[in-house]
Amino acid sequence: MAEAFRLALDLAAEQEGATAPNPAVGCVLLDAQGQVLTAAAHQGAGQPHAEARAIQMAREAGLTPRIHTVVVTLEPCNHQGRTGPCSAAILTTPAREVWYAVADPNPTASGGAETLAQAGLAVGDLSQLDHPNREALQTRATRLLAPFATRILRGRPFVTVKQALDPQGSMIPPPGQKTFTGPEALTLAHRLRRRADAILTGSGTVLADAPEFTVRHVPDIKAKSRWLCILDRRGRVGEAYLEAARQRGFRPFLARDLNQALHDLAARGCNEVLVEAGPLVTETIRQSGLWDEWVLIRKGPPDTITTTLRQD
């Protein structure tokens, strides 16, 4: 069972950043002997959920009669939206057992576990699994769902801050350079951009560097259009930069207030926002407590990367 959860989490993680406003979810179907029949992940809003995809794959392969156990990273939804309830899809199969990693935080979609249990299926969650890797799997599952859960429960996106410091503790690169970190840190920065639904920066950063904020060092998500939120109280960022951002595939907008900006991004369906800003905006976010993950890169050699998850 632990291996099935690991596979489901791996598949879901591959879709981080591709599914907003939905969460990234993975599902594995097992036979009565615990062998994998099919495995799938949700690909994006409006497309079949992970459970529905895995079930469809089993049908197409003639494996439906062998379905015994459903393992999924998120409690099966119990809601009719653009796609049908996953709880109902599971009940169309001969599955007798369902395991999920994290309960659905969305009150309009939760309740799938209860529906399945009332239908006579054995339902368990990851916390009940007796395995030495359980805590590690729970940590992965919780972090994977955190962007979606933060938007649902707090009304704002999950905020990841990327901060790079030189050996003297300064965020300002030397003259003529836009960065002072090495290849590993640069690749990490682009992975963070890839999974983000929005980039948040300040007018000072835009005016100083005219950053592109594109994903270049890792493959980007096909046809993804990110929001670009620029904190600009004095209206200093001109239309030329905004139009250039649109040409790069962004949906830019200016905001005067951090709280309102995060609220607006959540209303636009953003699960995660990456902050790439200068010292003023970065310190404002630190002091406000409006962050969830802080990625600190210290210039070496070698560069060191520390990731801190906010605990509250």
- For residue range 61-104, what is the model confidence (pLDDT) as tens digits? 999 999 999 999 999 998 777 778 999 999 999 999 999 999 99
**What H or E segment, with its residue span, contains residue 186?**
helix 183-195
Write out the DSSP string of 86-136: HHHHHHTS---EEEEEE----TTT--HHHHHHHTT-EEEEGGG--STTHHH
Half-sphere exposure for 300 (CA within 13 Å, toward CB): 9
Specify the CATH architecture of the domain 157-309: 3-Layer(aba) Sandwich (3.40)
pLDDT of residue 306 exceeding 80: yes
Given the residues 51, 75, 276, 293, the one annotated as active site: 51
Active site residue 272: no
Query: Residue 178: CB partners within 8 Å, gap ≥ 6?
Result: 209, 211
Q: Which of 24-28, 105-109, 144-148, 206-210 has the lowest mean pLDDT?
A: 105-109
Share of the chain above pLDDT 90, in %: 85
- The pLDDT of 126-152, averaged and rounded, is 96
Q: What percent of the chain has pLDDT over 70?
A: 99
Q: What is the C-alpha to C-alpha distance for residues 255 and 215, in angstroms, rounded to an integer? A: 23
Residue-wise pLDDT tens digits, 218-271: 999 988 999 999 999 999 999 999 999 999 999 999 999 999 999 999 999 999
H-helix or E-strand spanning residue 209: helix 203-209
Two structure tokens written together for 297: 């890169």
Express each pLDDT in 3-35 by its tens digit: 999 999 999 999 999 999 999 999 999 999 999
Maximum CA extent, the chain: 67
Strands 272-275 and 158-165: parallel
CA distances from 274 to 17, 22, 262, 297 (A): 11, 18, 11, 15
**3-class DSSP state of 142:** helix
Sheet of strand 97-102, all strands in order from the earlier edge strand to the far edge: 36-41, 26-30, 69-74, 97-102, 122-125
To the nearest 10°, report the CA torsion of 124, 125, 128, 133. 130
Instruction: CATH 3.40.430.10 in the chain: give the residue spans.
Output: 157-309
Helices (H) and strands (E) in the chain, counts: 10, 12
- Judge: domain 2-150, CATH 3.30.1360.30: no
The arrangement of strands across the sheet holding 198-202 comes to 251-255, 227-231, 198-202, 272-275, 158-165, 293-298, 304-309
Could you give the residue range(s) of every CATH 3.40.140.10 domain in the chain? 2-150
Q: What is the pLDDT of residue 273?
A: 99
- In whole angstroms, how far apart are CA 1 and each of 36, 62, 125, 208, 306? 10, 23, 11, 52, 32
Of the candidates 8, 60, 47, 6, the one whose C-alpha atom is nearest the C-alpha of residue 29 is 8
